A and B are shown apart, each in its own frame.
Chain A
Amino acid sequence: EDKVVQSPLSLVVHEGDTVTLNCSYEVTNFRSLLWYKQEKKAPTFLFMLTSSGIEKKSGRLSSILDKKELFSILNITATQTGDSAIYLCALHQNAGGTSYGKLTFGQGTILTVHP
């Protein structure tokens, strides 16, 4: 059975701290791994990773994928209160001959950043 497991489930830090969120997976026909940030409502897209060892970076956020060990990490440096959110990891799988690639989500990490 396909699995996406995120850890920790929740994390409380203070502004300025650096955090590392983890996503491990067991899926068939892996295509890509995606990270989303969800505040009050809609998840917003952060990164899509398809190749091992290539870091994706956006401001204070960065992410990397290890396809051999089957995990990804999302780093946030110099955290701010606006980083408080649920961070979701999702796996995209190839779908063979169909025109759909299944997206399987992990349970999310709730990050709380205190001033």
Chain B
Amino acid sequence: SQTIHQWPATLVQPVGSPLSLECTVEGTSNPNLYWYRQAAGRGLQLLFYSVGIGQISSEVPQNLSASRPQDRQFILSSKKLLLSDSGFYLCAWSSGRLNEQFFGPGTRLTVL
């Protein structure tokens, strides 16, 4: 069966520091991968999606970037964090572009 991992689970970082969040998927190949942010326990905002290695599309302009160095690995990064980057970051995968998406456990990021 497929599983999705994210780490770390929680992170507290000072403003201006770099960020690297990692997501890996097991049990499937060539998944579509997604990064979402959820603010204040509400709806999810899509940040990035990837349909293959090295292929990244951004949904909203922001202080973050994403990379997909391997088929089942998706990384969310920032060079300098802002206070507004605080939130709950969720990684998701799907087996096809119109199939349901399955979410990882999330990373709660607090920028102070």
Residue numbers of A with Cβ under 8 A of B are 4, 31-32, 34, 36, 41-45, 48, 86, 88, 90, 92, 94-95, 98-108, 110
With A32-B98, A101-B97 already in contact, the answer to whether A41 and B105 are too (CB < 8 A) is: yes
Tell me, yes or no, whether B46 is within 8 Å of chain A by CB.
yes
For chain B, give the interface size range.
Answer: 20 to 34
Tally of A-B residue pairs with Cβ under 8 A? 55
CA distance A69 to B100 in the complex (A): 23
Q: Chain A contact residues: over half helix, strand or loop, or mixed?
A: strand
Residues of chain B lying within 8 A (CB to CB) of residue A107 = 42-43
Contact B100 A43 (CB under 8 A): no
Interface centre among A48, A88, A105, A110 (most CB of B within 10 A): A105
* A-B complex: 8 closest residue pairs judged by Cβ atoms: A42-B103, A105-B43, A107-B43, A105-B44, A101-B97, A101-B98, A41-B105, A107-B42
Extra contacts besides A43-B103, A100-B49, A104-B46 (5): CB < 8 Å: A42-B90, A88-B43, A99-B51, A100-B97, A108-B43
